[in-house]
Amino acid sequence: MIWLTWRQHRTQGLYTLLGLAALAAFIVPTGLAMRRDLDRLVGQRCATGGELCDRGMNEFIDTYSPLLHVAILLLAVPLLFGLFWGAPLVAREIEQGTHRMIWTQGISRRHWAWTKAGLLGGAVAVLAAGYGWGISWWYEPLQIRESRFTEVFFDVQGVVPVGYTLFAVALGLYAGTVLPKVMSAMAVTLPAYIAARLAVGMYARPRFMAPLNRSLAIDDHIEGMTGAWLMSTEVRQADGTRVTGGMMVCRPEGDGGLCAAAREMGLRPGAYNYQVYQPEGRFWTFQWIETGIFVAAAALLVWLAIRRVRRVA
Amino acid sequence: MRGHEMEHVLEADGLGKRYGARWALRDCTLRLPAGRVAALVGPNGSGKSTLLHLAVGLLRPDAGAVRVFGNTPYENTAALADIGFVAQDTPLYRDFTANDLVTMAGKVNRRWDATLARTRLAQAGIPPRIPVGKLSGGQRAQVALALALAKRPRLLLLDEPVASLDPVARREFLRTLMGGVAESGTTVLLSSHILADLEHSCDHLVVLSSGAVQLSGAVDDIVGEHRRLVGPRHHGEPIGGVAAVVRARHTDRQSTLLVRATGRVTDPSWTVHELTLEDLILAYLSDGVTEATHEAWGVAA
């Protein structure tokens, strides 16, 4: 069975490695360049602080912010595994009728299915872990611009890619047992994966742990939060009523009063900025919770798929 | 296992399989004695594949039971070891070479004769290092057959193995098959709707139509006991020497009957004709087929 799995999937394994190598060919040089420039523009200058430090930081951000768009593209990587590893796994056998050949040899279907799911799942998990680690390394310098905890950037690094990838593959596998055509299985895997990711990302993840909040006086110097996930920011009156989203930053005028712009907005003395956030220290907790959810869902789907395999003829 | 049960390689009792509301096979009772080469005959959709899939354990029965060497084959790898199966269209991993397939079969079968597989593939002239997807249909069928025979099965099931082959490849395939099983005494059940080939190859017949067994037995017995009678318009009265009227076709004055005879038909008003196996099978299968749907087409019958 191990030989069969290797023989049957080595070609797609090779293509996957080529794809990941292409990704590495992009990530390694840009990652090294970012580190070099971060050290030159920010690291050395900001040791002493001052205007030179600010200028260097801006230059770094201007140069490398476009790379953040690349991170958005990387969201699709686990889905590709689901479409090209998961969906054809059983669907192609049934489409080409080869399930009737392999399931009538001397091994049980259950054995066949568990071996394949186990070996391919393991291989995919290792690839995804390497990929997640690589992206985490690459992203490190960009944190100066965008916290790694923020949506989208959280999703492409750390351990969550492993969870997403296993889930996508299991989803494709299950879809292939229900709709035994490769194209149909792919067509279902795509929207189902996106729906599951959105549901967890938008509704569940903000609630993994109760968020913290902080109130900040309206001032021209507001202490930033590095590495936190800022979930909402708003300007409030002294009594706590919301005035507007966003943050009011300006130099106070007079005796502890507000700046003109703030007064024009109708803010009264005592108004403040209010932020809801998940602190930086929770990053890995959130990573493991999210990974756990998707790994559990993947395990359930694999189990359902194998149950179905035993009924298909 | 009691001795008398072991004489039958394949036994089905009230076997049924349903897809949704439609019964693909219903109340199928069948005994296949050891050492026979049996043809499973029936039109498309008559349940041939379903019966074979039930026998090889790909499907689980919805009614009744099927046993192979006394075991139920569904999810039973011990039973699978004794069964060789060649599925319809002889599916193989198309990017594997024949050599790969031999290696594969060796890994997924406990009993496996690699030398036999290689010998047969060499005899059939199969190139070992070309992906089987690039071979001809006849060659692929030979590969599938070699893989099935090298399991050294006691029962070999073949689902329409020659349907998609040209006449030369078909004859070649059947020759290899008969040669292979003659040496080992393997029991064969082979489904087909190409009747001409069967007469030379098979000594047992199972006729399946509309999901039910119409006829089952040794070819010689079946041919020996059936007659075609032509005579005056028949209204169901008994005829001497006739056990049962299987099919009847009437004109105003004349009737043509397919009968099962117990001995000589003595009634002089009937002319007795012998039947070939093909005539006989067609007579059994023609039942119900002639009810053309003129009404459905909106034309006069």
DSSP B32-88: EETT-EEEEE--TTSSHHHHHHHHTTSS--SEEEEEETTB--TT-HHHHTTEEEE-T
Q: Say yes or no: B83 contacts chain A, CB-CB below 8 A.
A: yes
- Please name the residues in contact with B203: beta carbons below 8 A apart, sequence gap of 6 or more: B36, B37, B38, B218, B219, B220
Owner of token pair 């690291």: A43
Kindly indicate the confidence band of residue B291, based on its pLDDT and cuts at 50, 70 and 90: very low
Question: CA angle, A282 as apex, A276 and A284 as ends, to 5°?
Answer: 140
Among the ranges given (A172-181, A202-211, A250-259, B211-220), the one the predictor scored with the smallest mean pLDDT: A250-259
Which comes out higher in pLDDT, residue B278 or A27? A27
Q: Given CB atoms, is B57 within the 8 Å cutoff of chain A?
A: yes
Which residue of chain B is at minimal alpha-carbon distance from A2? B107
In this predicted structure, the answer to whether residue B1 has a pLDDT above a threshold of 60 is: no
Is the pLDDT score of A187 beyond 90?
yes
How close is the nearest chain A Cα to the Cα of B72, in Å? 14
Compute CA distances A195 → A76, A128, A168, A190, whole Å: 13, 21, 12, 9
d(CA A182, CA A8): 16
Closest CA to B155 of B54, B238, B100, B84: B84
Question: Are A105 and B57 inside 8 Å of each other by CB?
Answer: no
pLDDT of B5 > 50? The answer is: no
Which of B58, B77, B89 has the CB atom closest to A106's CB atom? B77
What is the ipTM for the molecules in this complex?
0.86
Q: What is the pLDDT of residues B161-208, one digit of tens each?
A: 888 888 888 888 888 888 888 888 899 999 987 777 777 788 899 998
If DSSP codes are grouped into helix, strand and coil, which group holds residue A310? coil
Beta-carbon separation of A107 and B108 below 8 A: yes
Of B60, B91, B107, the CB nearest to A3: B107
Kindly tell me if the per-residue pLDDT of B118 is higher than 90. Answer: yes
CA distance A211 to A221: 24
Predicted local confidence at residue B3, as pLDDT: 45
Residue A285, pLDDT > 90, answer: yes
pLDDT tens-place string over residues B212-241: 888 889 988 888 888 888 988 888 788 878
Look at A106 and B96 and tell me if their CB atoms are within 8 Å. no
- Name residues 83-122 of chain A within 8 A of B (Cβ): 96-98, 100-111
Check pLDDT > 60 for residue B6: no
Indicate whether B39 pLDDT > 60: yes
Which of B77, B87, B89 is facing A108, going by the closest CB pair? Answer: B77
Q: How far apart are CA A112 and CA A29, in angstroms?
A: 42
Q: How far apart are CA A98 and CA A133, in angstroms?
A: 38
As a dihedral over the C-alpha atoms of residue B97, residue A310, residue A166, residue A188, rounded to 10 degrees, the angle is 90
Q: Which two tokens stand for residue A302?
A: 């694999």
- In this structure, of B11-20, B154-163, B232-241, the range with the lowest mean pLDDT score is B232-241
Distance from the Cα of A308 to chain B's closest Cα (Å) equals 12
Instruction: Identify the closest residue of chain B to A11 by CA–CA distance.
Output: B95
- Range of weakest confidence among A242-256, A271-285, B90-104: A242-256
What is the phi/psi pair of residue A157, to 5°? -140, 180
Q: Which of B183, B109, B178 is nearest to B147 (CA)?
A: B109
Residues present in chain B in total: 301
Least Cα distance to A87 among A7, A162, A12, A156 occurs for A12
Sorting pLDDT into bands at 50, 70 and 90, what band is B246? confident
Contact: B93, A97; criterion CB under 8 Å: no
C-alpha B84/C-alpha B135 separation (Å) is: 22
Taking an 8 Å cut-off on Cβ atoms, the answer to whether B75 and A109 are in contact is: yes
Q: Which residues of B touch A4 (CB under 8 A)?
A: 104, 107-108
The answer to whether residue B41 neighbours chain A at the CB level (below 8 Å) is no
A194 pLDDT above the threshold of 90: yes
Nearest CA-CA partner of B239 in B266, B263, B216, B213? B266
Q: Is the pLDDT of residue B277 over 60?
A: yes
Q: Is B3 or A70 the better-scoring residue by pLDDT?
A: A70
Q: Backbone phi, then psi, for A45, in 5-degree steps?
A: -75, -35
Q: Rounded to a whole number, what is the distance in Å from the CA of A72 to chain B's nearest CA?
A: 36
Count CB neighbours of A236 within 10 A. Answer: 18
What pLDDT does residue B292 have?
A: 53
Closest residue, chain A, to B75 (C-alpha): A108
* Overall average pLDDT of the B14-20 stretch: 91
Taking CA atoms, B93 is separated from A186, B100, B132, B223, in Å, by 21, 10, 7, 41
Does residue B288 carry a pLDDT above 70? no
Q: Is B144 on the interface with A (CB under 8 A)?
A: yes
Residue at token pair 């119900």: B288
Q: For residue B109, list chain A residues with Cβ-Cβ distance below 8 A.
A: 105-107
Q: What is the pLDDT of residue A252?
A: 81
